[in-house]
Amino acid sequence: MRKKAKRDLTIEQQLAGGPIDLPFLALVMLLTAVGLIMVLSASYASAMYDLDPDVITKGDPLYYFKRQFGFAVLGVIAMFIISKIDYQHFRWMSVFVLGASIVLMLLVFVPYFGRSGGGALRWVKIGPIRFQPSEIAKVGVILFFAAGLSKRTGQVNLDRRWSKRTLTGRMAARLDRVGLLELVPYGAVLAVVLGIIAMQHHMSAMVLIVVAAASVLFVSGVSLGWFALGGALVSGVLVWIITQTEYMTARITIWRDPFSDPKGGGFQPIQSKIAIGSGGLLGTGLGNSRQKYLFLPEEHNDYIFAIVCEEMGMVGACVVMALFALLIIRGYWLALHARDRFGTLLIVGVTSLTAFQTFFNIGVVTGFLPPTGISLPFFSYGGTALAIQLAEMGMVLSVSRQIAAPKAE
């Protein structure tokens, strides 16, 4: 028996140390490299003129690029380190990551740590590092949902015995039968996280966390009826927010007709479309954008895809979108072939987060969707966000190391 156990342990160790998925790794590295090039091209005018009140560049045209490159290096190192970890350890780590993210999000409201920018209070500054804790919360929610829902069998209600002699027992049995009690802890966690983020007025992060959580719930086999109910509830909340808040109502108005306020709220979407149209089929050439010379706001951040279209044209933009599509497709392929349900749910959460973030950003830049403030993965300037995205890719690569193993529940 001891020899058999030792032999099985050796097999597990070999699987955990297996080869990572090279196509997925190649796509991640390629997108990161192209993203760095575009940050360099899009940001040097803003950095040189040093007009951002929240950032002091001292006129260094390479300021944004050098910071982004440094975080990219750290992110790649973190990605490879995480890819070496047996992803089963992420189960018990999920609670700590989620708890740490909640604590960090609450630090936003502490004067010494909290930092504002762009009219919003969403950042925490610890030493020289300034970041948005909501980025960590996205990972925490995915890990927590994947770890918990990977244990479900679809027959949770059969494992409990409720007393039929009391009204409480009969109600609990009925709620258990329809699957509501199973969803309570996940709903509570989601409510706490979204509540804190709502206090930060960070609508885009709320949308992405809901999407990531919903994708994990869907793949875990939760009844479609709950998705219909949840979708109706979320839609109702969004409609209420849009109609009852002056800020969101103005955004929708500008989205529908940017020229209703061409020098105010409509200036950015108008300039974005000018940049896209100026690129034509083949683009003006790398580094030759005109809109980045202080015409297009956030040209190296949320609207960097407009600079991609201007400099690389429709052909280059389609190539970039194809790279994202291949990364997402490969991610879902790895999820289908993961060794167990936890690996599947983990990859689905991370891949769906990347997919919807890409869709929302490109949709906003092209005018298909109203402004959301969602950045483009691997491209938009933001060092800590890039490092966390690469760490997420490391989790996917960690699961890919055990693809060769037989499936387990």
**CA-based radius of gyration for the chain:** 23
> pTM for this one?
0.86
Burial class (CB in 10 A: 0-12, 13-18, 19+), 93: middle
- Residue range 12-44, pLDDT digits in tens: 455 556 788 999 999 999 999 999 999 999 998
- Residue range 43-77, pLDDT digits in tens: 988 888 877 766 777 888 899 999 999 999 999 99
The predicted pLDDT at position 181 comes to 59
The predicted pLDDT at position 79 comes to 96
The predicted pLDDT at position 165 comes to 58
The predicted pLDDT at position 249 comes to 75
Residue 300 corresponds to which tokens in the numbers above?
């190296």
Q: Facing residues of 131 across strands?
A: 124
Distance of CA 238 to CAs 119, 192, 216, 217, 349, Å? 21, 18, 22, 21, 23
Burial class (CB in 10 A: 0-12, 13-18, 19+), 85: middle
Q: In angstroms, rounded to a whole number, what is the distance separating the alpha carbons of residues 306 and 309?
A: 5
58: left (phi over 0), alpha (psi -120 to 50) or beta: left
Q: In angstroms, rounded to a whole number, what is the distance separating the alpha carbons of residues 38 and 309?
A: 11
- Ranges of residues in the chain with a pLDDT under 50 are 1-12, 155-159, 175, 178, 405-406, 408-409
Domain boundaries, given as residue ranges, for the chain: 19-400
Q: What is the 3-state secondary structure (H, E, C) of 96-149?
A: HHHHHHHHHHHHCCCCCCEEEECCEEEEEEECCEEECHHHHHHHHHHHHHHHHH
Residue 401, phi then psi, degrees to nearest 5:
-65, -25
